[in-house]
Amino acid sequence: MKEILLTTVLALTTLTASLAQNIHIKKDFGLNQYTLNGKRVGMKEMVKLTIIDREAHNLMKKAKKGHVWTQILTGIGGGMIGVSIGASAAGNDPQWDLALVGVGFIAIAIPIASRTNKNAREAIGIYNSNLMENQYRLGLKLIGSPNGVGVAMTF
């Protein structure tokens, strides 16, 4: 009896894991939004989710690294532009050289962000295609033998 219960629990666990939902990606105001089962997922969670697929995981780690660099560069650039505009609004002479350096930081961040989005989309595509491929390989069969009835799983 314990063997039947253990086999049933193992079969249901494997079946549930294989029927995982696809990750969806949507561009919103120039930023990628990742969703799983209708819930937003951040970049850190995306790296954890793709760990079951080595190629997708490596691409998602590259995307996360690029995402961090993009945030750093655009933050610095935006701050420099903001200081220049703030000085102008306060009645002081605007610091155009500082604003131009800020624009330069943002210009450097644009191709990094583009490459990040490309890596993330490719990783999600690989993950989803492998997920669908693996989903249809699992099979459960009820079999009979001289010793009784059993469940056979094929992977």
The pLDDT score that the predictor gives to residue 77 is 97
Nearest to 25 by CA among 47, 13, 40, 4: 40
- 0.75 exceeded by pTM: no
Q: How is the chain split into domains, by residue range?
A: 2-154
DSSP string, the chain: -HHHHHHHHHHHHHHHHHTPPPEEEEEETTEEEEEETTEEE-HHHHHHHGGGSHHHHHHHHHHHHHHHHHHHHHHHHHHHHHHHHHHHHTTSPP-HHHHHHHHHHHHHHHHHHHHHHHHHHHHHHHHHHHHHHHHTT-EEEEEEETTEEEEEEE-
Q: Quick one: average pLDDT of 40-69? A: 91
What angle in degrees, to the nearest 10, is found between the helix axes of 54-89 and 96-135? 160
Lowest-confidence region among 38-42, 77-81, 151-155: 151-155
pLDDT band (50, 70, 90) for residue 53 = confident
Alpha-carbon distance 78 to 54, whole Å? Answer: 36
pLDDT tens digit sequence for 1-20 = 666 655 665 555 544 444 55
The pLDDT score that the predictor gives to residue 18 is 45
Region of 140 (left: φ > 0; alpha: ψ -120 to 50; beta: rest) is beta
The pLDDT score that the predictor gives to residue 6 is 56
